Amino acid sequence: MSLLIVRLVVFVLLFWAGWRLWQYWQQMQGSRVEDKTSDKLEGESMVPCAQCGVHLPKGSALQSGPRYFCCREHQEAFERNAGE
Ligand SMILES: [Zn+2]
């Protein structure tokens, strides 16, 4: 009978350890996501490239009137297409 109790205690301990590990892992994941969102909130706003649609910080984007581009090639390609 006591062996059964020992097994039960070991099982519960293993389960508890696994649960704590899972919670710890979830917390790590959560804090990483929070870091990302706070970076976004503190940092510059993101703008999409008018040519390829990739989002980049406003500061590193090339602005051409109301539009933003990720690189000069895309700005030139967009203006070429718009001119035709
Ligand atoms: Zn682009």
pLDDT averaged over consecutive 10-residue blocks of the chain (84 residues)? 90 96 90 59 81 94 94 95 75
State how many domains the chain has: 2
User: What residues does the ion ligand 1 have nearby, CB within 5 Å?
Assistant: 49, 51-52, 70, 74
Distance 45 CA to ligand 1 centre (A): 17
60 and 37 share a domain?
A: no
User: What spacing in Å lies between the alpha carbon of 80 and ligand 1's midpoint?
Assistant: 14
How many angstroms is it from 27 CA to the middle of ligand 1?
35
Let me know whether 10 and 26 are in one domain: yes
Tokens standing for residue 48:
């999409």
Residue 39 confidence (pLDDT): 52
Count CB-CB contacts under 10 A for residue 58.
12
CA of 23 to the centre of ligand 1 (A): 40
Range of the domain at 9: 1-43
Residues 65 and 27 occupy one common structural domain: no
- CA–CA gap between residue 41 and residue 59 (Å, rounded): 15
Q: What is residue 23's predicted lDDT score, i.e. its pLDDT?
A: 93
53 and 37, same structural domain?
Answer: no
Q: What is the pLDDT of residue 44?
A: 74
pLDDT (0 to 100) of residue 55: 96
Check residue 82 and give its pLDDT. 78
Residue 72, both tokens = 């000069």
Name residues whose C-beta falls within 8 Å of residue 57's C-beta, 6 or more positions apart in sequence: 43, 44, 45, 46, 47
Beta strand residue intervals within the chain, DSSP E: 46-48, 55-57, 62-64, 67-69
